[in-house]
Chain A
Amino acid sequence: MLEIKCPVCGVVGEEGDFHGGGQAHITRPATDNPANISDEAQRDYLFMRHNPKGLHFERWRCDRGCGKWFHAARDTVTNEFKAYYSIRELPPVELMKAATGSWAEYFKDKMVTK
């Protein structure tokens, strides 16, 4: 049972009071013209996920609190939450830099714009 802090309303609560929303930062392809998105691209969007041993980025909802979604960076080995940040934002730059594996690949060209 993790202990989680909602960055929107500030409540600290039990995992059961929150709702886990899986991996963060998934880009949804526009669907104006389905032909623009290959079956493979759609498969990757729907099903392919990072599964790091270490720093991970996820979505949570403050289910029994303010009801807002937010982002969290969590170490999957130690379960330590490294940061909570807005659902509309990328992680803090230092965490994007600390990311490894496929996450590092994902953040590679996103740090400048932050």
Chain B
Amino acid sequence: MTGKPYRLPDDSGAGRLLDRSKPLSFTFDGKKMTGYAGDTLASAVMANGRRVMGRSFKYHRPRGLITMGSEEPNALVGVGTGSRREPNLRATQVELFDGMTSVSQNRWPSLDFDVGIINNHMSRLFPSGFYYKTFMWPKTFWHKVYEPVIRNAAGLGVAPDGVDPDSYEQVHVHCDVLVVGGGVAGLAAAQAAAANGKRVMICDETPRLGGIADISNELIDGKSQLDWVREQAASLTAADNVHVMTRATVIGHYHHNYLMIFERLTDHNPALAAAGAPRHRLWKVRAGKVILASGASERTMTFANNDRPGVMLSSAARTLVERYGVAPGLMGLIFANNDDAYITALSLKRSGVGIARIVDVRENPQSEIITAAQDAGIETMFGHAVAGVETSAGGKQIDAVKIAPYVKGRGRVVNEITVPADFIAVSGGWNPVAHLWCHNGGKLQWDDTLACFKPKSHDDDIAIVGSANGTMDLAGCLKEGYAAGEKAGGKARLKKPRVVVRKQAPVEPMWFSPATGKYNEGNKHFIDLQNDVTAADLELAQREGYESVEHTKRYTTLGMATDQGKNSNVPGMGIIAEATGKAVPEVGTTTFRPPYTPFSFGAIAGTQRGKLFHVIRRTAVYDWHTSQTSVMEPVGDWRRPYCYPQGGESQQDAINREILNVRNNVGILDASTLGKIEIKGPDAGEFLNRMYTNMFAGLKTGKCRYGLMMNEMGFLMDDGVTAKLADDHYLMHTTSGGADRIAAWLEEWLQTEWYDLKVYVTPVTEQWSQFAIAGPNARKVLEKLGSDIDLSHEALPFMAMATGDIAGFPVRLFRISFSGELSFEVATPANYGQDLWDKILEAGKEFGIAPYGTEALHVLRAEKGFIVVGDETDGTVTPHDVGMSWAVSKKKPDYIGKRSLEQAFLTEPGRKQLVGLATTDPNEVLPDGAPAVESGKLTGHVTSSYWSPTLKRSIAMALVKNGSERMGEKISFPLADKVIEAEIVDPVFYDKEGARQNV
């Protein structure tokens, strides 16, 4: 077909969508080509005499287009360059624009010569299940041999380079009625639903409403269907209560009529993107009612080498001629089992395309349109089937078609005749497009007359109409469309159009046409063109015992490509049925999952990229931190300074300096992220008693207590200091990451279990700035700032708190310490946070104050053996395991986790316990998570590990089996390149008596 002109002349009447006054130039695989405004990439490439559009996935056989739209399995292309290159687009759906760069896929080095074609000749070595059978062994080959080979040979398309330059949006909307599909049935449904003022959305995945009305031959109200759909589309577009969307594919239907629509705004016109329009929009729609009018897609009939370029669906051939003025070839042969193919024959004839004959498997079909075709001089041949094709140019050129008498169920063909032709238009009947029906649990049933699955039942408020419902005649489509629209929108007073019903001869199901010659030698019967699954593969799977269709699918990969088996599922099941002597519904049913078609990652991300990817929380001092350091650490949604390197200091040097400054002078930490929850009410004390493992009822006003929180399974989930502000008023501190979770946890218990308790829970984390001032000079700094609170050890001892003023700021002052040093945590309303911070730094200057970050905080606490919930615990660790049995009350009647803590498996010996580790080589720092191995068994793991500048050696904590009874023993931690030995020690490394914090 190369080089010949295939564009039909303007006066042939073909090419309805073309604007021949607007020529466009584009490239396909580097070759300059021309087309017209209105072309698809597929039609333009065909018009330039190029039929091969890609190579197949497994055998690298040359492939051309098969279908007319989004269901295309073969003609997959990459469009655009660099960061705007998009792979795996269906050429039948890509609208041509001037300057388009496009490439075919799965071919190397070129489409005409392809090294992967060797797979075709070795196909006996590539039966179904080949990957399972071959690449299982030896395991070591996977990494170095199999995977790189498979990845090079397979794969679909090439991903874009760099950052996506386009913008994307997501839109959330509600509507009363969503109509999916803008064909005749959908238009009727939308009109009826909108007639009483309901808010209606109607969307279609093509650039215009109308479905296949323009390639159909029936009349509505005496007018062509095309005129009728144009009128309907215009009136819907003009209606205020109707939102018409084109280039908009409904890709998923979810619970309670929640749907996703993928709208393409600029792909057909890059000028719009350049002007700043979003490229894609993902619409998330909650619809009161859904009407599916998604139409039907034509299916093929399988014969030997039915994948050759030039074999296409009858509807695709008709579309090429009628819409794009492109002849699929010079001489076509039509292969049919139904009347629809005769419309194609008449269309080709009218446009001057040669027709060899119509080969119809039916014995003696009779209808108006068959007579019309015969009257037009088209030769018909009944009771026959296409048995194969004769090709040249490495399979890229069809020369002739082999035809044999057809007897259903017969094996190898004996007699056959050969008819010259260079393309075949196949029509094996139509399958309802019921994908969306199935997404949320809609059931299908087999229809013997139509030989297809059609919708049966659904639990949602959803209707399905027209050919999507298996109603293949025009009158039925209109009737169902209006009826569903009226049911959704209320009885409408619409004048219904009239249609003259013309009788059609019934379809005769036909799945497989036998061939001459040896089976499967040079005679591949393709079922799934995208995944290269043949009839022989399906039969092999049956022989090997994959009786369930679900197993067969996974074994052969039938229907598991990006087209989700739109073309192959039903024929595949038909062939399995014939091979096993079962009826199709006995073989199984089929279902579909979202998305209906692939859609872009950009649409999924929407505007949530770059700075908008994740909203972060900032303390009042955030800007100051970022002016002093660039090393920020994510803690939940917060960003906290990790350390503050000075001058050319390394991070480790900065951390060491910050730690020693706390130990020797005074440091300041922004602890505002610490969770703060106010607990108020007459039963607040009792409530805390039940939430924490230890006793809170006896706590005196003005005092603080450390509390451990378990979940109902007895495992640690949070810890923190709670202060008593008044008899009925407490302030709970939680971990920074746990603040929201713990607030919700408290609420849940108050609302759902202990609703008799009179308690309010109010999260106030962001209302307060809170700073830890820690170190031997801490008191001096506060004294310099000036306060109405008596700061002496006697008046405000360790674990006491007071409210008052510091440097004129209203504060809550807590004498609590996570560093082991003399420490005050001062909280002030967040709006004063930055001011107070500045004042503290100023006052602290003469005492050597310096800010410290989260890493210093962690080392300081580890030197003291304080746990961090989430480091020392992992959701399977009890208070006993971390050596905190002292905090577990034996007196309280009830608290969360109490009973579980006594379950047999939590009390039996041999659990892991928290210990300290001192490496034999003090300079060796164990990695976090390093496993302890003894006698070949895993007996523990490192939970925290640091260099301690205070002790000038490494320190670590670990959970080790029976650890608390094994002080002084040595255990080893094998790593990838060495083994580290460590002694089990007390986890408190520094100031065991706690003298430093108690001054």
For residue A73, give the distance in angstroms from its CB to the closest CB of chain B: 15
Alpha-carbon distance A87/B165, docked complex (angstroms) = 50
Known A-B contacts A34-B898, A39-B904; the reply to A46 vs B713 at CB < 8 A is yes
Contact B898 A21 (CB under 8 A): no
Alpha-carbon distance A67/B748, docked complex (angstroms) = 10
- Chain A residue nearest to B690 (CB atoms) is A31
Q: Mark B238-279, 1 if CB is under 8 A from A, else 0.
A: 000000000000000011101000000000000000000000
Contact B899 A1 (CB under 8 A): no
Contact B753 A42 (CB under 8 A): no
Contact A3 B286 (CB under 8 A): yes
Give the interface centre of A1, A15, A69, A88 by most chain B CB atoms within 10 Å: A1
The 8 Å CB contact of B459, one of A19, A32, A79, is A79
For residue A28, give the distance in angstroms from its CB to the closest CB of chain B: 6
CB under 8 Å from chain B, chain A span 21-76:
21, 28-32, 34, 37, 39, 42-43, 46, 59, 61, 67-69
Name the interface size band of chain B.
20 to 34
Decide if A78 is an interface residue (CB 8 Å cutoff): yes
Residues from chain A with a CB closer than 8 A to the CB of B459 are: 77-80
Decide if B893 is an interface residue (CB 8 Å cutoff): yes
The 8 Å CB contact of A29, one of B744, B899, B902, is B899
Decide if B751 is an interface residue (CB 8 Å cutoff): yes
How many contacts A-B (CB < 8 Å)?
58
Known A-B contacts A31-B893, A69-B752, A80-B459; the reply to A46 vs B255 at CB < 8 A is no
For residue B260, give the distance in angstroms from its CB to the closest CB of chain A: 10
The 8 Å CB contact of B899, one of A37, A77, A78, A79, is A37
Contact A42 B899 (CB under 8 A): yes
Known A-B contacts A46-B713, A79-B255, A79-B459; the reply to A32 vs B751 at CB < 8 A is no
Contact B900 A42 (CB under 8 A): yes
Decide if B842 is an interface residue (CB 8 Å cutoff): no
- Chain A residue nearest to B893 (CB atoms) is A32
Alpha-carbon distance A61/B743, docked complex (angstroms) = 13
CB under 8 Å from chain B, chain A span 68-103:
68-69, 77-80, 87-88
Residues from chain B with a CB closer than 8 A to the CB of A59 are: 752
For residue A40, give the distance in angstroms from its CB to the closest CB of chain B: 10
Alpha-carbon distance A24/B899, docked complex (angstroms) = 21
Contact A42 B286 (CB under 8 A): no
Alpha-carbon distance A46/B900, docked complex (angstroms) = 9
Contact A67 B747 (CB under 8 A): yes
Decide if B526 is an interface residue (CB 8 Å cutoff): no
Residues from chain B with a CB closer than 8 A to the CB of A9 are: none
For residue B72, give the distance in angstroms from its CB to the closest CB of chain A: 30
Known A-B contacts A31-B895, A34-B898, A37-B899; the reply to A1 vs B712 at CB < 8 A is no
For residue B743, give the distance in angstroms from its CB to the closest CB of chain A: 10
Contact B894 A31 (CB under 8 A): yes
Contact A87 B752 (CB under 8 A): yes
| Main SS at interface, chain B | mixed
Decide if A11 is an interface residue (CB 8 Å cutoff): no
For residue A94, give the distance in angstroms from its CB to the closest CB of chain B: 20
Alpha-carbon distance A68/B254, docked complex (angstroms) = 26
Decide if A2 is an interface residue (CB 8 Å cutoff): yes
Contact B751 A42 (CB under 8 A): no
Contact A34 B902 (CB under 8 A): yes
Contact A68 B751 (CB under 8 A): yes
Contact A1 B258 (CB under 8 A): yes
Residues from chain B with a CB closer than 8 A to the CB of A61 are: 744, 748
Residues from chain B with a CB closer than 8 A to the CB of A39 are: 903-904
- Chain A residue nearest to B258 (CB atoms) is A1
Decide if B755 is an interface residue (CB 8 Å cutoff): yes
- Chain A residue nearest to B254 (CB atoms) is A1
Residues from chain B with a CB closer than 8 A to the CB of A67 are: 747
Alpha-carbon distance A67/B746, docked complex (angstroms) = 12
Residues from chain B with a CB closer than 8 A to the CB of A88 are: 755
Residues from chain A with a CB closer than 8 A to the CB of B258 are: 1, 3, 14
For residue A41, give the distance in angstroms from its CB to the closest CB of chain B: 9
Contact B286 A30 (CB under 8 A): no
- Chain B residue nearest to A12 (CB atoms) is B286
Contact B893 A3 (CB under 8 A): no
Contact B256 A3 (CB under 8 A): yes
- Chain A residue nearest to B901 (CB atoms) is A34
Alpha-carbon distance A67/B83, docked complex (angstroms) = 45
Residues from chain A with a CB closer than 8 A to the CB of B899 are: 29, 31, 34, 37, 42
Residues from chain A with a CB closer than 8 A to the CB of B748 are: 21, 61, 69
- Chain A residue nearest to B902 (CB atoms) is A34
CB under 8 Å from chain A, chain B span 874-927:
893-895, 898-900, 902-904
Residues from chain A with a CB closer than 8 A to the CB of B254 are: 1
For residue A103, give the distance in angstroms from its CB to the closest CB of chain B: 19
Alpha-carbon distance A106/B902, docked complex (angstroms) = 27
For residue A15, give the distance in angstroms from its CB to the closest CB of chain B: 8
Contact A2 B902 (CB under 8 A): no
Alpha-carbon distance A13/B938, docked complex (angstroms) = 48
Residues from chain A with a CB closer than 8 A to the CB of B898 are: 31, 34
Alpha-carbon distance A21/B745, docked complex (angstroms) = 11
Alpha-carbon distance A15/B899, docked complex (angstroms) = 34
CB under 8 Å from chain A, chain B span 694-721:
712-713
For residue B751, give the distance in angstroms from its CB to the closest CB of chain A: 5
Residues from chain B with a CB closer than 8 A to the CB of A29 are: 899
- Chain B residue nearest to A3 (CB atoms) is B256
The 8 Å CB contact of B894, one of A1, A2, A32, A42, is A32
Known A-B contacts A31-B895, A67-B747; the reply to A1 vs B900 at CB < 8 A is no
For residue A98, give the distance in angstroms from its CB to the closest CB of chain B: 17
Residues from chain A with a CB closer than 8 A to the CB of B900 are: 42, 46
For residue B991, give the distance in angstroms from its CB to the closest CB of chain A: 37
Contact B256 A79 (CB under 8 A): yes
The 8 Å CB contact of A2, one of B255, B753, B904, is B255
Known A-B contacts A1-B256, A32-B893, A77-B459; the reply to A46 vs B752 at CB < 8 A is no
- Chain A residue nearest to B900 (CB atoms) is A42
Alpha-carbon distance A77/B440, docked complex (angstroms) = 11
Alpha-carbon distance A48/B33, docked complex (angstroms) = 68
For residue B382, give the distance in angstroms from its CB to the closest CB of chain A: 48
Alpha-carbon distance A34/B744, docked complex (angstroms) = 27
Residues from chain A with a CB closer than 8 A to the CB of B893 are: 31-32
Residues from chain B with a CB closer than 8 A to the CB of A34 are: 898-899, 902
Alpha-carbon distance A69/B755, docked complex (angstroms) = 11
Contact B755 A2 (CB under 8 A): no
CB under 8 Å from chain A, chain B span 708-760:
712-713, 744, 747-748, 751-753, 755
Alpha-carbon distance A88/B752, docked complex (angstroms) = 7
Alpha-carbon distance A46/B710, docked complex (angstroms) = 14
Alpha-carbon distance A30/B751, docked complex (angstroms) = 17
CB under 8 Å from chain A, chain B span 310-369:
none
For residue B717, give the distance in angstroms from its CB to the closest CB of chain A: 15
Residues from chain B with a CB closer than 8 A to the CB of A28 are: 753
For residue B282, give the distance in angstroms from its CB to the closest CB of chain A: 14
For residue A66, give the distance in angstroms from its CB to the closest CB of chain B: 11
Residues from chain B with a CB closer than 8 A to the CB of A32 are: 893-894
Alpha-carbon distance A100/B255, docked complex (angstroms) = 23
Alpha-carbon distance A2/B440, docked complex (angstroms) = 11
For residue B873, give the distance in angstroms from its CB to the closest CB of chain A: 19
Contact B751 A1 (CB under 8 A): no
Q: Mark B165-188, 1 if CB is under 8 A from A, else 0.
A: 000000000000000000000000
- Chain A residue nearest to B753 (CB atoms) is A28
Contact B894 A30 (CB under 8 A): yes
Binding site for B on A (CB under 8 A): 1-3, 14-15, 19, 21, 28-32, 34, 37, 39, 42-43, 46, 59, 61, 67-69, 77-80, 87-88
Question: Nearest 5 A-B pairs (CB), nearest first?
Answer: A78-B459, A3-B256, A1-B258, A31-B898, A32-B893
* 10 additional A-B residue pairs with CB within 8 Å, beyond A39-B904, A46-B713: A3-B256, A3-B258, A3-B286, A31-B895, A32-B894, A42-B903, A80-B459, A87-B751, A87-B752, A87-B755
Q: What are 16 A-B pairs at a CB distance below 8 A?
A: A1-B254, A1-B256, A1-B258, A14-B258, A31-B893, A31-B894, A31-B895, A31-B898, A32-B893, A42-B900, A43-B903, A46-B900, A68-B751, A69-B747, A69-B752, A79-B459
